[in-house]
Structure 1
Amino acid sequence: MSSHVSNQARVIPLRPDPRPAPAEPAAVPPKEPLWRDVVGDVLRRERLAQERTLKDVADAARISLPYLSEVERGLKEASSEVLAAAAHALGLGLADVLALGRSELLRLATPPAGHAVRRAAPRQGEVRLAA
């Protein structure tokens, strides 16, 4: 008769693990685009469509080249004066840039086909008016 001895240790926890069991990841809604990113994309797209350099537009708008670059990349939130100057340097009005930005924002914010938009349900006693 031979006895079999295992070389594996048996671990007995002294106390239960305080960490909760991992849950299934919740569906994360798509992140809404930031206005500064959208406006920066519009300015860059318009500049490139005109085949102009960043330096050319910055000089025409009287904006520093590094600052305009940061605005185009969505790193800086430009004032309305800066946006108007950049727009005019591109031969556009501020309203044109804002309209292009609005169109882009709507395109980016539209959920993909088959995805319903969830709206918060009214709370008890809450009144919502539609215009």
Structure 2
Amino acid sequence: MAEIIPLPRPVALPAREPEPLWRDALGDRLRRLRHERGERLTDTADRAGVSPQYLSEIERGLKEPSSEMIAAVAGALDVTLIELTAGVVDDLRARAASPAAVGCRASLALAA
């Protein structure tokens, strides 16, 4: 009779947090810009030509706004699309460089 040889068990990788979505990072950046200006949702929404509810949903990452909507809100906050986009990218890079994210990557590299 043949001998049964157990197969090696797969190595469990540490759980890692999902990367933030663009819409979440965009919403965080827009909210920060609005707060820095000391504005209410209605102030910015009126200038952008959107409803306060819609702007709130963008800020909370619940909506995927069109490029036209992003441009309108950016304009209402007196920033260019380039400035806004660069700020969102900087925020995403900062999150990726946080100690928790680096530790997670190092753990994955060691497991490989």
Give the TM-score normalised by the residue count of structure 2: 0.78
Alignment correspondent of 1:50: 37
Q: Considering fraction of residues, name the structure with more helix.
A: 2
1:37 pairs with 2:24: yes
Q: What is the distance in 2 between the residues matched to 1:95 and 1:80?
A: 12
Alignment correspondent of 2:65: 78
- Mind listing any 5+ residue stretches in structure 2 that lack a counterpart? 1-11
Point out which structure has higher relative CO (alpha carbons under 8 A, 6+ apart): 2
The percentage of aligned residue pairs carrying the same residue is 45
Is residue 61–residue 86 contact of structure 1 (8 Å, CA) maintained in 2? yes
Deviation per residue, 1:5-60 (Å, 9 max, x gap) = xxxxxxxxxxxxxxxxxxxx752012101100000000000000000110000000
Which of these two proteins has the greater Rg computed from alpha carbons?
1
Aligned pair count reads 95
Structure 1 segments of 4+ aligned residues over 4 angstroms from their partners: none
What value does the CA root-mean-square deviation take over the aligned residues? Answer: 1.9
Structure 2 vs 1, CA of residues 75 and 28 (structure 1 numbering), >3 Å: closer, same or farther?
same
Give the TM-score normalised by the residue count of structure 1: 0.67
